[in-house]
Amino acid sequence: MATTRLTDVIVPEVFFQYIIKRTKETSAILNSGILRADANLSSFLSGGGRTANVPFWKDLTDNGSNIGSDDPAELSVPDKITAGKDIAARQVRTKSWSSMRLSGVLAGDDPMKAIGNLVGDWWARNLQDILVSTLHGVYTDNVAANAGDMVNNISVTSGSPSSVNLISAEAILDTKQTMGDAAEDLNTLIMHSAIYTRLQKQNLIDFIPDARGEVRFPTYLGYRVVVSDRVKVINNGSGNPSGYVTYLLGNDAIAFNEQPMTTSPNVEVERKPDQGNGVGGDILYTRRQFVMHPYGIAWQDSSVAKEFPTNLELEAAANWSRVYPERKQIPISFLITNG
């Protein structure tokens, strides 16, 4: 009986579109509305370079209006309209699997779909990790360079936490207040399941139907709630309480664009005749090229060892710098609690 191979069941062009679709469908974070497709970044990905300039217009200064006069010698002095420059980084990530690891699904009725589900789910988790590391880089830069004006940290790093160190309505409201009168731009809470469970115990989670009236999603204080254990948990050392990071974000806070690579196919299957002691096997390669960028926080590329940043490098404060003039222009806030 002939053995089914990856080369028999995977059509690269179809397979790649399937895993992109699967990634979006299975990731609550990526599907929450916080990501925005930016045509300028798509153009950048089609070309070359490690970084892209993202120009923006700075807000007009509040110098007040002129007082009208009938004196022709009194002239209105125009204020300047100035532009700023945001910077986004190109990212290329790859992952490969051998057919021996995928052998269990090759025997199914629809092996390409089955493998696509596995690969799409893996990439969904990986992209969530990249997003969390990106947000943590924004957090570390904000604490280091902007006095933590995007952060409400009520946690303790040692001893025993009390109720004031835990998630609460007051803590969420204080966090949204970091946006001042622009707080209405925030609409999504992303939190760890331990935080979500604490709110459930307090009967503070509401559920509302989606646009079709079918699937209910949780809300808290009017914010949509997304639960993921892949959010950042700060380790304060053995025996010390952990710090849970809860994110309060607005729609389109982060640019996300993906384009096929021009130098390598997105999906490739390589035949390895020497595997299995000559029986042979296949290796499935997947490649993703994208930009994931928080608007207003310019990528500095100050501490990157290789061509593209790792997750740890994304978390480094030195690699980010806020360029939007006002904090309230960036719909991202952080709440740190002990539970």
Tens of pLDDT along the chain (339 residues) come to 345 577 677 778 788 888 888 887 788 898 899 999 998 898 899 888 999 998 777 777 777 887 888 888 887 777 777 788 899 999 999 999 877 656 655 555 667 788 888 899 999 999 999 999 999 999 999 999 999 999 999 999 999 999 999 999 999 999 999 999 999 999 999 999 999 999 999 988 998 876 666 667 899 999 999 999 999 999 999 999 999 999 999 999 999 999 998 889 999 988 877 766 766 677 889 999 999 999 999 999 999 999 999 999 999 999 999 999 999 999 999 999 999
Calpha distance 331→165 (Å, rounded):
24
Q: Residue 97 is encoded by which pair of tokens?
A: 């699997």
User: 297, 114 in Cβ contact below 8 A?
Assistant: no
For residue 162, the Cα-to-chain-centroid distance in whole angstroms is: 31
Closest CA to 27 of 129, 113, 135, 105: 129
49 conformational bin, left if phi > 0, alpha if psi -120 to 50, beta if neither: left
Domain assignment present for residue 71? The answer is no
Burial of 163 (0-12, 13-18, 19+ CB in 10 A): exposed
Q: Which domain holds residue 194?
A: 6-57+82-337
Q: What is the DSSP letter of 182?
A: G
User: 339, 244 in Cβ contact below 8 A?
Assistant: yes
Domain assignment present for residue 129? The answer is yes
Domain assignment present for residue 70? The answer is no
Q: What is the maximal distance between C-alpha atoms in the chain?
A: 99
Domain assignment present for residue 64? The answer is no
Closest CA to 317 of 150, 85, 111, 69: 150
Q: For residue 303, count other CB atoms closer than 10 A to its CB.
A: 12
Calpha distance 199→7 (Å, rounded):
49
Closest CA to 112 of 300, 314, 241, 284: 284
Q: What is the model's pLDDT at position 2?
A: 47
Bridge partners of 190, per DSSP, are 226, 247
Bridge partners of 299, per DSSP, are 320
Calpha distance 176→252 (Å, rounded):
17
**Helix extents (H) in the chain:** 6-9, 12-26, 39-46, 103-106, 111-145, 169-176, 193-201, 311-314
pTM for this prediction = 0.88
Q: Which residue matches tokens 């999504």?
A: 188
What length is written for the chain? 339
For residue 181, the Cα-to-chain-centroid distance in whole angstroms is: 25
108 Cβ neighbours under 8 A, 6+ residues apart: 114
Q: What is the model's pLDDT at position 105?
A: 59
Bridge partners of 216, per DSSP, are 209
Name the domain count of the chain: 1
Distance linking the first and last C-alpha atoms of the chain: 56
**Three-state DSSP class for residue 4:** coil
Domain assignment present for residue 63? The answer is no
Calpha distance 264→286 (Å, rounded):
10
Calpha distance 66→70 (Å, rounded):
13
Planar angle of CA 28, 32, 36, nearest 5 degrees: 125
Domain assignment present for residue 145? The answer is yes
Domain assignment present for residue 72? The answer is no
Q: For residue 31, count other CB atoms closer than 10 A to its CB.
A: 14
Domain assignment present for residue 75? The answer is no
